[in-house]
Structure 1
Amino acid sequence: MQAELARMREISRAAGPAGAAPRTEDEARLRPFARRRVALGLVFAEILRARDIRPDPARVRARLEQMAAEYESPEEFIRWHYANPEKLSEVESLVLEEKIVEDLLATAEVVDRAVGFQELLGMEPTTT
């Protein structure tokens, strides 16, 4: 979790005013988000392992092409990603997340039930 917290601090620092020192309250504010991201990463990793999901090269290429369409030199953008394993890994992660969601939705059992207005607003967990 410390690595994720450090990554989030760095992103926050880069987005803030130049030369601004990190504040203690920033870390306290970021800690729950870092904990959630780490937990989601662990859940996703287990789903990938259990369902033997791998990044599909054709789908990664299609995602890169979609992203590259926004740039002046799309082919250069694509080549740059393939030449930088870290950047390519980021796109593969996006594709894997999409695949996990698709896989879960395809196998999910949907149960309709009536809920009260207050429960809906409060999103109170109930057992059915």
Structure 2
Amino acid sequence: MVRINIHRKKSGEICGIEVSGHSGYASAGNDIVCAGVSSLVFTALNSLIELGQYTDEELAVDIQKGYTSFHIPEKSIEEQTYIASIIRETTRIGFEQISESYPKNVFSEMVNLKKHEHNMANVVQEEQDYVSRVNYARRIDF
């Protein structure tokens, strides 16, 4: 299952996205669910870089096999902030539509951060801990 965590600040603004796992809908290379999620993730990243004028470093991009995350910092230029907010919300809508269409393969949820300012490393560690627990639970034969 693909797990999508969309992190929101106290203000409601999306500040990070994490995607982990594999959908299991079909074999590698034929998995339309995985392709859809991947397309959304990389379209969002490339749009933030090209239109929002962010760098990979600013976005704290972390891409590994079966895991991608990025953090969206605030920009001082109002137009960039506006563009980034549209990209973030459009991506959220896409993730929600995929998870509604393929609920056995994709789980998407909002994660409200307790502090307005947050440490992405802590968020990533919490997510990795969760994924470890989920993977352990999958190995148990019920």
Indicate whether the TM-score tops 0.5: no
Q: Which has the higher strand share?
A: 2
Q: Which has the higher contact order (CA 8 A, sep 6+)?
A: 2
Q: Which has the higher helix share?
A: 1
Q: Which has the larger radius of gyration?
A: 1
Q: Give the shorter-chain TM-score range.
A: under 0.3
**TM-score scaled to structure 1, two decimals?**
0.28
**TM-score scaled to structure 2, two decimals?**
0.25
